[in-house]
Each structure stands twice: as structure tokens, then as C-alpha cells.
A and B are shown apart, each in its own frame.
Chain A
Amino acid sequence: MIGLQHYLLVSAALFSLGILGVLTRRNAVNVLMGIELILNSANLNLVAFSRYGAGNLNGQLFAVFVIVIAAAEVAVALAIVLTLYRLRRSPNLDTADLLRG
């Protein structure tokens, strides 16, 4: 019987893979994909708690807010990545060292 813990396990796997993507990629767009995986795993947790918890919709309401934050985040982050690319001709994050003295 599938229960709350199975959903939490899937979410934990998504979260760990997202962390791996954020840590090991040089390309800024790939790092953004890792962040999307992490936000999706948090959403999956919230929806699972909403289904198996106290029986109200609060988890799903939170998930909608997380989706709004994710949309705002990806728009601003891509703007920053494009500006960085225009400055350095490279999408790699280790070229973003303009503040180094």
C-alpha cells in the first residue's frame, strides 16, 4: 500500500539529485535546472502532506505559492545569466568573478 513515506522518498531522491546538479555543474542554466528539481521536491512534499495530513488544503495552497516563487526566480536568474553571458561570453559560473579585488 502506497502511503505518505513513499512520496517522501521520491521527493528526497529528487532533492538529492537537485543538490548534485547545483554542486557539480559549471553551466549556469544547468544549475537553474537543479534548483527547479529542488523546488519540485518541496512541492511534492507539501502536496503529500496535504493528502495524508489533517485533511485541509493548506499544503496545496503553499505549493501554489512555491510555483509563483519559482516562476519569479527563474525569470530573474535567466536575466542575470544573460547579462553575465554578455559581459564574459561564457555561461559558466566560474567566470562570474567581477567583484574579486
Chain B
Amino acid sequence: MNPSDVVFLALAALTVGSAGVVVLARSLIYNAFALLFTFFGVAGLYLLLGADFLAATQLLIYVGGILVLLLFGVMLTHKLYDLDLKSEVQQFSAGLFILVGIFGILVFTIHRTPWRVGPGRAPAATTADLGREFMGAWLLPFEAASVLLLVALIGAAMIVRRRKEA
């Protein structure tokens, strides 16, 4: 086993293990902090795949933005005096059945599909190339995504705004 394989196994174990805590732990705060480690693990896997810009984006947006937003959601939807923020799990056996079924089908498909592995892209700096692609062939989706983000943020502010009673 060469060192990169060991790193991959460690990151995969971190990612899947903490994802298990996200799904299974009863405490909402544990869920949120386990999600932090899942995002870190996925960012590490991105680095291992040579996607340096995406790894930094993952840390900035998921850890810095989405996770903080989810923590706000936890705090705002519970009374602040609740020390143990518990979350109920229901119909666990049926969910476990579906988990095993979906995972089995996916593993079967991954092993049976003859993946067309191309020459691949050797790990190299991607930021300049990504920027050139965004400003070139992908300009229209890029602009559409910016408009979508603006509309979503304005819409979110509109939804939570307290309306005056008519």
C-alpha cells in the first residue's frame, strides 16, 4: 500500500463514519458537528482527486456558510434553555431496510458497470483553467446560477419576513 492509499482510506473512514453520526446520533448538536467532519473529509477527498479549487470552495461554502446556517436553524427552532436538543428517529427499521437496499443496488452497479476510464487529468492547479471555462463555454450557466442565487436569497428573506396583519 502506498501512502496515498492510506490517506484515502483514512479520509473515507472519516467521511463515512461522521456521516453515520450525522444520521444516527440523537443530539442535534452532535449531528451538526459530525457534519463538520464529513465536509472536511469530502474536502480531503477532493484534494486527493486533484481538485484544489473545489476543496477550498467546499471549506468556504459548506463549513463557513451552510453549516453555520444549519446551526442557526438548530438554535432558532428550539428554546434556548433546552440543553439537550434531542431529535426523534422514527420508522428506523424501514429506513434501514431502504438503506441496505439502495446501497446494495449501488454497489452491484458500481462493480458490474464497465467504467470507461479515460486518460484522466493528472493532479495540477485547476483554478486558472476553471475560471477560463466559466468565462468561456460555460458563461450562460454561470450567469444563470448567479441570478438563481440572488433570487433564492431575496425569496428566503421574503419568506421569513414578519407580515403585518392585514
Mark contacts of B39-50 with chain A using CB atoms, 8 A cut-off: 1 yes-contact digit, 0 otherwise: 100100110011
Which residues of chain A have C-beta atoms less than 8 A from B118's C-beta? 52-55
Given contacts A4-B117, A33-B31, A70-B66, contact A60 B130 (CB under 8 A): yes
Give CA–CA (A3, B49) in the complex, Å.
10
On B, residues with C-beta under 8 Å from A are 4-5, 8, 12, 15-16, 19-20, 22-23, 28, 31-32, 35, 38-39, 42, 45-46, 49-51, 53-54, 57-58, 61-62, 65-66, 69-70, 72-74, 76-78, 87-92, 94-96, 98-99, 102-103, 106-107, 110-111, 115-121, 123, 126, 129-130, 133-134, 138, 141, 145, 148-149, 152-153, 155-157, 159-160
Q: A63-B51, A72-B152 are in contact. List 4 more A-B contacts (CB 8 A).
A: A9-B107, A16-B103, A36-B66, A83-B159
Chain A residues within CB distance 8 Å of chain B? 1-10, 12-21, 23-30, 32-34, 36-37, 40, 43-44, 47-48, 50-57, 60-61, 63-65, 67-76, 78-83, 85, 91-92
